[in-house]
Amino acid sequence: MKIHEYQAKALLAARGIAVPQGRVATSVDEAVAAVRPLVEASGVPVVVVKSQIHAGGRGKGRFQEHPDLGGVNVVLDGRGGDLAAAEQKVRALAEKMLGSTLVTVQTGPEGKPVQRLYVEQGVDIARELYVSVVLDRTTGRNVVIASTEGGTEIEEVAEHTPEKILRETVDPAIGLAPFQARRLGFALGLSGEALAKGVAFLTALERAAVDLDTDLLEVNPLVVTGAGDVLALDAKMSIDANALYRHDDVVALRDLAEEDPAEVEASKYGLSFIKLDGTIGCLVNGAGLAMSTMDIIQHEGGSPANFLDVGGSATTENVTAAFKIITRDPNVKGIFVNIFGGIMRCDTIANGVVQAVKDVGLQVPLVVRLEGTNVELGRRIVEEAGIPGLQSANDMRDGARKIVEATR
Ligand code: ADP
Ligand code: MG
């Protein structure tokens, strides 16, 4: 699960990690109101207005509606004490940024609408570094990654100058060892007080990653200020979905507006929905059957638009919801219901599909293949419903062929 930069920074600050002061704003007035207290509290007459979206590359991104405007904007007018001018600038920026669509290398060409801003104190940047804590699934351990090339996409550093990426694998029993943190600190070119602060920062960051169950915790840039302080200027955090049960505070930070609406709707019913880019909607039970259904559709010359896994314990209501989610996708030109009833009963699926067709109608061809528990009853329910455009299939291959044929 992803969260916003300002939320990640609050979680880090609570764990002793230095971050700049800032205030979140969802309206123009809130953004303007943030300027004065921020300047007074931080003593810095510069503020930065940052778009909050679940994607990076904002600084270099551009707004669709304002092609000359980036996603991160520095306002200098507070210098010389002209707060009113700074507030005026922030107002003008917030009016343009809020509600507009920001396109970055990470959002894809369609971009993401900006609904929240983070107004942050300006930081006097002497150096921009890169650090992150990522889970290495091969070793099952966290790795602390660091580079002197902060501010740039780490993928680019990895491609062009891989020798500039440093790694320390963390022993979970002891955490990031002092010698490892120092080794990274030296390699980042830190010395004196900045080295001590950098070592403390890296150690606390790795602890925060474990404490919060992140699968990615990236600080890019980590900055050294003119005064020698070490601060997280940006924070990107993704929390392992399987660990959310022990982080109620993190779950509360979920911003549904940032997530795919169909996936949000599906998760309400305990369904797993994955959107793909083909034309055949797939309603299946179990991840294994989902994989083989996609394979066989491809094998028969079609391509899946999504797969929706209703799992093993769905009710008729859940199946109805699942079917509606699939039919709502305009890319879906046909639907393949492929169920192997084990714990899941075929009649439950059949009732769900029939109910959904009654509720919302059916504009596209539908192929149903049922097998397993209560299969006779399930087939009878589907047949007796007399759904136009429906075909039954004897097995998976037969079903895949029929739906590919019908959508051609
Ligand atoms: P993104 O990675 O999405 O582009 P960042 O938060 O890293 O967004 O910001 C991009 C750049 O903007 C940073 O590399 C830094 O140079 C500048 N910047 C961000 N926040 C501040 C700040 N509070 N003060 C000064 N400069 C900032
Ligand atoms: Mg960044």
* Domain of residue 146, CATH code: 3.30.470.20
Report the predicted TM-score, pTM, of the whole model to 2 decimal places.
0.83
Contacts with 400 (C-beta within 8 Å, 6 or more apart), sequence order: 293, 296, 297, 299, 300, 302, 336
Place of tokens 């601060």: 231
Domain boundary among 225, 251, 277: 251
Ligand 1 centroid – CA 176 distance (Å) = 27
Asked if 348 contacts 316 with a C-beta cutoff of 8 angstroms, the reply is: yes
**Six-digit token string for 330:** 């305009």
Rounded to 5°, angle at Cα 104 from 102 and 109? 85
Which residue in 6, 87, 120, 130 is the catalytic one?
A: 130
Which of residues 189, 224, 251 is at a domain's end? 251
Is position 218 annotated as part of the catalytic site? yes
CA 178 to ligand 2 center in whole angstroms: 26
Same-domain status, 231 and 146:
yes
Phi first, then psi: what are they for 369, rounded to 5°?
A: -120, 120
Per-residue tokens: 353: 């599909």
pLDDT of residue 20: 96
pLDDT value of position 122: 94
Of all ligands present, the nearest one to the C-alpha of 57 is 1
Q: Which of 12, 234, 236, 237 to mutate to test the pocket of ligand 1 (most atoms within 8 A of CB)?
A: 234
Tell me the C-alpha to C-alpha distance, in Å, between residue 299 and each of 65, 262, 280, 303, 332.
Answer: 42, 27, 13, 9, 18
Give pLDDT, residue 268: 85
Residue 5 lies in a domain: no
Q: What is the pLDDT at residue 78?
A: 65
Q: Is residue 399 domain-shared with residue 286, that is, in the same domain?
A: yes
* CA–CA distance, 233 with 151 (Å, rounded to integer): 10
Residue 2 within a domain: no
Q: How far is the CA of 59 from the centre of ligand 1 (A)?
A: 6
Name the 3-class secondary structure at 127.
strand
Q: Are residues 130 and 117 in the same domain?
A: no
Same domain, 214 and 104: no
Q: Are residues 135 and 114 in the same domain?
A: no
Distance 71 CA to ligand 2 centre (A): 11
The predicted-structure confidence for 321-338, as pLDDT tens digits, reads as follows 888 899 888 899 999 999
**Residue 334, in any domain of the structure:** yes
pLDDT tens across 33-62, in order?
A: 999 999 998 888 899 999 999 999 999 999
Give the distance, in angstroms, between the CA of residue 98 and the centroid of all CA atoms in the same chain.
20
What contacts 357, CB < 8 A, 6 or more positions away? 323, 366, 385, 387
The answer as to whether 11 is a domain residue is no
| Region of residue 286 (phi > 0: left; psi between -120 and 50: alpha; otherwise: beta) | left
* Whether residue 286 sits in one domain with residue 336: yes
Spatial CB neighbours of 340, under 8 Å, sequence gap ≥ 6: 285, 286, 289, 371, 372
Range of the domain at 279: 260-407
CATH number at residue 321: 3.40.50.261
Q: ω before 178 within 30° of 0 (cis)?
A: no
Return the sign of the alpha-carbon dihedral for residues 272, 319, 251, 220: positive
Are 169 and 97 in a shared domain?
no
Contact 19, 111 (CB under 8 A): no
Domain contains 14: no
Question: Of 120, 168, 218, 258, which one is the catalytic site residue?
Answer: 218
The residue type of 366 is L
Q: How far apart are CA 382 and CA 370, in angstroms?
A: 10
Tell me if 337 sits within 8 A of 402, measured CB to CB: no
Closest by CA position to 238, among listed 309, 319, 132: 132
Domain boundary among 92, 121, 150: 121
Task: Indicate whether 129 and 109 sit together in one domain.
Answer: no
CB within 8 Å of 229: residues ≥ 6 apart: 18, 194, 197
pLDDT of res. 311: 83
In the structure, which protein residues have their CB atom closer than 6 angstroms to any atom of ligand 1? 20, 48, 50, 56-59, 72, 74, 120, 122-123, 125, 128, 151, 220-221, 233-234
Which run of H or of E encompasses 371?
strand 366-372
Structural domain count, the chain:
3
141 close to 210: Cβ distance less than 8 angstroms: no
Atom 20 in ligand 1: residue holding the nearest Cα: 233
CA nearest ligand 1 atom 9, residue: 59
Low-confidence residues of the chain, pLDDT below 50?
none
Asked whether residue 71 falls in the same domain as residue 102, the answer is yes
Residue 403 shares a structural domain with residue 264: yes
